[in-house]
Amino acid sequence: MFHLLLVAAGGAIGSVMRHLVGMASLRLLGPAYPWGTLAVNLAGGFAMGFFIEFLARRLGASAEWRLFVATGIMGGFTTFSAFSLDFAVLWERGQMAAATGYVLASVAGAILALFLGLWLGRSLF
């Protein structure tokens, strides 16, 4: 139960940070392009890489810290950081085909699933 609370607390922090970045980007750059999402995805990828390398590998951060930061904060901020880490792990293991397939399946699959959800929602309502 404690681990769930760590993830929930981190997720709350990350989602608030995501909302603030989105609001700031709208005010500064306007709504013509999804700058907020792009900023969150890029910052999240950087932060996940830094966290995994520095805190987890260099400092030996506990499982609780990893749950709070990587799963909680970063997951609430952007799941794109987890996707990026999964890709990097496959790539660094030398599984280039699996990594490439993962990117294609994730991106194309998510977009197709979104359109399927839109179609279903529009058909039912």
3 state DSSP class of 78: coil
Reading phi first (left if > 0) and then psi (alpha if -120 to 50, else beta), residue 95 is in: beta
64-115 tens-digit pLDDT: 998 999 899 999 998 888 899 899 999 999 999 999 999 999 999 989 988 9
Q: Which residue ranges make up each domain of the chain?
A: 2-78
The residue whose two tokens read 């805190």 is 55
- Length of the chain, in residues: 125
pLDDT band (50, 70, 90) for residue 51: confident
Q: Which helix or strand (DSSP H or E) is residue 70 part of? A: none
